[in-house]
């Protein structure tokens, strides 16, 4: 099992290329099953989750060919209405094939999803959306089974207890584009990744209008193939922004799209990290000796993203004062806290809020990654620590960051991967 060895204390300087967004690529790959001719996708990141989705698409009958950052998906032989447990347990996003199956094949049998272990992540809103369109849904023996006897447009809300759901919005949207009549979805997720899916579907011939958190969909009978370029990954960009800040470095993030990151850039400015636009991306640097403490509350977009909560928590462990981080999306997403404490961080968690009392320095220690974003948080902490840190179970990081050790090493980090 691979591990990272990181010797901290080096300011990162140079340029990092930001890849296509994983959280946009996965639903768009699934949505390609809706087309009646091949789809070509550009700016696809090289990630374990993308490989898993390619396998899922192969399993349901599609032909998928990859050439570096380009995928060609031919759904002509898409005829299998089942996604088995052995595949779906590896990645929660596999559930995105549910919507296309219901729309194209009139039925679906998809295992309840897996993915990172960060607390309960119910799929009730996915099912609510499909039922609102007229599908018959059952959950039995660990599988979701859906029958479509004619989807019809409807007006409903997908607002949940923690706000909007990206996954439910994407799945319902993919089913609704081929439903008869008009569908209006209130409480839809507003994330850039959802908007990228909307743009992709419209390029294939769908008729979708967006007004803040409301989607209006006029059903069509068929969709055609197209070419589409995936948006940049704002979570990857945010992680490297923290890497520049926590090491008191200076990084150019090539391909970064700052308009998608206003809440993140605002919070970095509060902490004392400077972010400014440059041609083709952004520059992130920090000259302050100590960071300012702050309060963070994760919220659906355009609020602060839950997928950057752990990374910012790492930076706040060495802030000059007390910070609070409240997790409203996944209240149990604090498994990185115990590992940061092993490195000398002073963090306590009560309910869904972490209180972080900044220390002067973190200390190297052997730690274990528990999920994708916690892995990134531990890498960032190690970059700022005194001594040599060993991070175990780093396979999590390969799900969402392309060649992270190579990118960091190229800008000065003392990091290596060992088997």
Give me the active site residues, please. 116
Inter-residue contact 26 to 50 (CB < 8 Å): yes
Give the HSE-up count for residue 208: Cα atoms under 13 Å, Cβ half-sphere. Answer: 31
Inter-residue contact 109 to 144 (CB < 8 Å): yes
CA 256 to chain centre: 15
- Under DSSP, the state recorded for 351 is T
d(CA 93, CA 202): 22
3-state secondary structure of 146: strand
Q: Residue 209 pairs with which residues in a beta bridge?
A: 216
Inter-residue contact 394 to 2 (CB < 8 Å): yes
Q: How many CB atoms lie within 10 A of CB 202?
A: 16
d(CA 287, CA 298): 27
With tokens 């940061």, the residue in question is: 340
Token pair recorded at residue 329: 């999306």
Helix residue ranges per DSSP H, 89-146: 98-105, 124-132
Q: What are phi and psi of 338, to 5 degrees?
A: -60, -35
412-to-13, 18, 233, 249, 406 alpha-carbon distances in Å: 6, 17, 22, 10, 10
- Which distant-in-sequence residues (6+ apart) come within 8 Å of 128 by Cβ? 156, 158, 168
Residue of 299, 317, 319 lying closest to 308 (CA atoms): 299
Inter-residue contact 184 to 214 (CB < 8 Å): yes
């Amino acid at each position: 099992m691979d591990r990272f060895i990181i010797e901290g204390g080096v300011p990162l300087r140079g340029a990092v290329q930001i890849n296509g967004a994983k959280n946009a690529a996965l639903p768009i790959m699934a949505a390609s099953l809706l087309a009646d001719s091949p789809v070509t996708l550009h700016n696809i990141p090289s990630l374990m989750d993308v490989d898993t989705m390619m396998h899922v698409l192969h399993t349901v009958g599609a032909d998928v060919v990859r050439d570096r950052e380009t995928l060609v998906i031919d759904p002509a032989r898409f005829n299998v209405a089942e996604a088995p447990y052995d595949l779906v347990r590896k990645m929660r996003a596999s559930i995105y094939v549910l919507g296309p199956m219901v729309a194209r094949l009139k039925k679906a049998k998809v295992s309840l999803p897996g993915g990172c272990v960060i607390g309960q992540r119910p799929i009730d809103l996915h099912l609510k959306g499909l039922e609102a369109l007229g599908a018959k849904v059952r959950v039995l023996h660990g599988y979701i089974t859906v029958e479509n006897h004619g989807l019809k447009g409807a007006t409903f809300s997908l607002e949940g207890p923690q706000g909007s759901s990206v996954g439910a919005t994407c799945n319902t949207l993919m089913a609704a584009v081929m439903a008869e009549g008009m569908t209006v979805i209130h409480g839809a997720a507003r994330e850039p990744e959802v908007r990228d899916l909307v743009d992709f579907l419209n390029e294939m011939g769908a008729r979708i209008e967006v007004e803040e958190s409301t989607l209006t969909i006029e059903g069509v009978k068929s969709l055609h193939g197209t070419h589409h370029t995936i948006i940049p990954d704002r979570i990857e960009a945010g992680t490297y922004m923290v890497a520049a800040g926590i090491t008191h470095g200076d990084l150019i993030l090539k391909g970064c799209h700052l308009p998608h990151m206003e809440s993140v850039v605002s919070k970095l400015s509060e902490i004392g990290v400077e972010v400014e636009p440059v041609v083709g991306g952004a520059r992130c640097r920090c000259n302050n000796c100590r960071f300012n403490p702050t309060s963070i509350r994760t919220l659906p977009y355009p609020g602060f993203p839950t997928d950057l909560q752990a990374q910012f928590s790492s930076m706040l462990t060495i802030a000059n004062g007390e910070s609070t981080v409240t997790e409203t999306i996944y209240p149990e997403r604090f498994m990185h806290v115990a590992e940061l404490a092993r490195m000398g961080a002073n963090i306590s968690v009560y309910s869904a809020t972490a209180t972080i009392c900044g220390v002067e320095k973190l200390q190297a220690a052997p730690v274990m990654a528990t999920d994708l974003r916690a892995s990134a948080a531990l890498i960032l902490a190690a970059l700022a620590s005194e001594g040599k840190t060993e991070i175990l179970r780093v396979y999590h990081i390969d799900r969402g960051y392309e060649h992270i050790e190579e990118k960091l090493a190229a800008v000065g980090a003392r990091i290596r991967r060992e088997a």
